[in-house]
Amino acid sequence: MTYTTIGVLAVLIVVFFDLFAVKTRMVTRPIFWLSYAIIVFFQLITNGLFTGTQIVKYDGSAIIGGSSPADTAPIFLGDGRIAYAPVEDLLFGFSLILLSLSLWVFWGRRGVDRTPTSGPPIWRRNN
């Protein structure tokens, strides 16, 4: 299986896990998507650092785009890449984040350290 195939499968499996296995239904919640929007912005920066500095390289036969060049940074945008990294990384990241947050909420529901809950930010009084 290619990275592309595994990435798509991983997203499907984790969405199924969230909706039907543990029924945390994160993908139906605005708070998940707002959190994800923040996280994916920083994911692109982090991925860009890993891939742009060539700490991590990818084989073109496993991804939509071509192989990472031998000794120079890959293209920033295009050829199946976004911020130097393969677009497949977005599938990888989404499944990692959704699984983490779904499990986090699952354990909270089960009463494992449900509290103390977060908030308010320090600039707001009370509590």
Partner 1 sequence: MGDFMDFGRWSYVAILVFVFLGSIWLEVFLRSRVLRRPKRVLFTIFPVLFPFLLWDAYAIGQGHWYFDESRILGIYLPADIPFDELLFFIVIPLASILTLEAVRSVKGSKSRRWLVGDETT
Instruction: Answer for the pair 17, 95: CB distance below 8 angstroms, yes or no.
Output: no
- Binder of partner 1 out of 12, 16, 21, 31 (CB under 8 A): 31
The separation between CA 24 and the C-alpha centre of its own chain, rounded to angstroms, equals 17
Could you give the CA distance from residue 52 to residue 43 in angstroms, rounded to a whole number?
Answer: 13
User: How many residues line the site for partner 1 (CB under 8 A)?
Assistant: 55
Hey, which residues between 65 and 124 contact partner 1 (CB under 8 A)? Answer: 73, 84, 92-93, 96-97, 99-101, 103-105, 107-109, 112-122
Among 25, 69, 75, 79, which residue sits at the site for partner 1 (rule: CB under 8 A)? 25
- The C-alpha angle 23, 24, 30, rounded to 5 degrees, equals 130
Find the binder of partner 1 among 10, 65, 81, 91 (CB under 8 A): 10
Question: How far apart are the C-alpha atoms of 17 and 113, rounded to whole Å?
Answer: 22
For residue 97, the one-letter residue type is: I
Q: If you search the block for the tokens 């991983």, which residue do you land on?
A: 10
- Residue 52 is a binding residue for partner 1 (CB under 8 A): yes
Which residues are at the interface with partner 1 (CB under 8 A)?
2-3, 6, 10, 24-26, 29-32, 34-35, 38-39, 42, 46, 49-50, 52-59, 62-63, 73, 84, 92-93, 96-97, 99-101, 103-105, 107-109, 112-122
